[in-house]
Structure 1
Amino acid sequence: MQVQWKYCTMKGNMLAMNKTKLFGTACFAVAFAALVSSCGDNTTRSTGWEFSRNMYDPIGNNNPDQPNTNFANGQTAQTPPEGTTPVGFERFDYPNTLEGYEAASLNFHSTLERTEKNLKDGAMLYHSFCSPCHGPEGKGDGTIVNMEKFPPPPSYSTGTSSRGGQMKDLTDGKIYHTITYGLNLMGSHASQLSPDERWKVVMYVHELQKK
């Protein structure tokens, strides 16, 4: 009985080993066939089967550079109709001129509610984008000025604007216009600050005008 049991055990182990080898051989054969079939024979330009072609070959005209037969000029990207405003943008119809600056002062006012959060956000944005030149308290003593690389901008509380008038009297529209277009050595911040963010900076600058 003991000999028979040992024989059965050995036979079972051999069968298990054979199944393992068979399974391994089958996996190797499949992998080898996939590798060979993907290499090609240099006689065709076919790339074989493609997975989810619609994921990278759009059906709709989503690419602005994609040809489009729906328009006479064959382009997908078209010039927007005059007077329209892109989604997510705020119109600012005051040109980068002294006349536009004065018109913005009279007619362009913040609609942003003065809250503790908006004021805190304005302080954070001011210290990130403005204080290197204007200084942490708006005195014109920023780090760049202290390096003696640029002349100091006028103080928000005691200085005189290069456009005339006192800095402490700058209105919503004048500050917003300057942030949007820049002035003198100050560049435009329209690409760095959204309209809402500009209004928050305006709100904080009004606080600095009081100091």
Structure 2
Amino acid sequence: MLAMNKIKILGTTVIVIAATIVISSCKDKRSTGWEYAPNMYEHIAYDPDQKNDNFKDGKTAQVPPAGTIPVGFVKFDYPKTKEGYELAGTEVKSPLPQTQANFADGKLLFAHFCSPCHGLSGQGDGLVVQHGYPAPPSYSKGQSSRGGAMKDLTDGKIYHTITYGVNAMGSYASQLEPTERWKVIMYVHHLQTL
């Protein structure tokens, strides 16, 4: 008798659950049904361009507090001036060891970021020059627009130029992190001797 009641209760429960599923699934054809973890696709975070009452200025995208430094940031204390360029030329030296791995990395980075203008051999004959843009000076034969021969450029002068840019060349500080810049400089010194 007790076993019969358990079977009836279990059977009734299964029928009620099945009926609930059938009735709730037939209610609205456009409904996607019950949502499992709706916060995965209905985010509560603010978009950067959205109004946000949590801040005094009402903006979501906030400027970092004054004096903060991003993780991994390497400060370059030479201004974007001719004087800063000359000072960097005398004071700044590469911290990287002259290894085959660093040289190979520099060659690859140069090919990707610099050769479109400077050419693979550093002679100022890159693809953009072939499309009518002004040619940068040759590393081995040209004259710098800031004075002096390109073959005499020091670590600091090249680093300053990569960081800030000069003339038609823009800054590559956002494309090349400081270590990568030093590797490119290592390869540029090789091109200065060609």
Q: How high is the TM-score relative to the length of structure 2?
A: 0.73
CA 31–114 in structure 1, closer or farther in 2 if over 3 Å, else same: farther
User: Could you tell me which of 42, 47, 52 is aligned with 2:37?
Assistant: 52
Identify unmatched segments of 5+ residues in structure 1: 1-22, 41-47
- Deviation of 1:124 after TM superposition, in Å, equals 0.7
Aligned partner letter, 2:76: F
Structure 2: runs of 5+ lacking an equivalent = 1-13
Distance 1:137 1:79, change over 3 A: same
Q: Which residue of 2 aligns with 1:20?
A: none
Corresponding residue to 1:128 among 112, 120, 123: 112
| Count of residues in correspondence between the two structures | 177
Deviation at 1:148, TM superposition (A): 5.4
Instruction: Provide the residue aligned with 2:126 in structure 1.
Output: 142
SS at match of 2:147: coil
Quote how far apart the aligned CAs of 1:107 are: 2.4
Larger RCO, structure (CA 8 Å, separation 6 or more):
2
Q: Give the aligned partner of residue 208 of structure 1.
A: 191
- The alpha carbon displacement at 1:75 in A equals 6.6
Offset of residue 120 of structure 1: 0.6
Partners in 2 of 1:186 and 1:75 — Cα distance?
34
Superposed counterparts of 1:54-69, under 5 Å: 56-57=43-44, 67=52
Aligned ranges 1:14-93 → 2 under 5 Å:
30=21, 33-34=24-25, 36=27, 51-52=36-37, 56-57=43-44, 67=52, 79-93=63-77
Partners in 1 of 2:29 and 2:76 — Cα distance?
57
1:16 maps to which residue? Answer: none
Structure 1 residues 67, 102: CA separation in 2 closer, same or farther (over 3 Å shift)? Answer: same
Larger Rg over CA atoms: 1
Identity %: 54
Q: Provide Cα deviations, 1:37-76, integer angstroms capped at 9, x if missing partner.
A: 7968xxxxxxx97543665336xx9x7978585x766777
Could you say what secondary structure the match of 2:89 adopts?
Answer: helix
Q: Distance in 1 between matches of 2:36 and 2:52?
A: 24
> Structure 1: how far apart are the matches of 2:50 and 2:178?
29
Q: Closer, same or farther in 2 for the Cα pair 1:126/1:83, shift >3 Å? A: same
> Given the superposition, is the C-alpha separation of residues 111 and 66 from structure 1 closer, same or farther in structure 2, using an over 3 Å criterion?
farther
Distance 2:39 2:20 in 1: 31
Q: Distance in 1 between matches of 2:115 and 2:65?
A: 39
Distance change >3 Å, CA 35–CA 120, structure 1 → 2 = farther
Q: Secondary structure of the residue that 1:164 maps to in structure 2?
A: coil
**Post-superposition shift, 1:108?**
2.3
TM-score (norm 1): 0.68
- Matched to 1:52, the amino acid is A
Deviations 1:149-168 (A, max 9, x none): 12321111121101001111
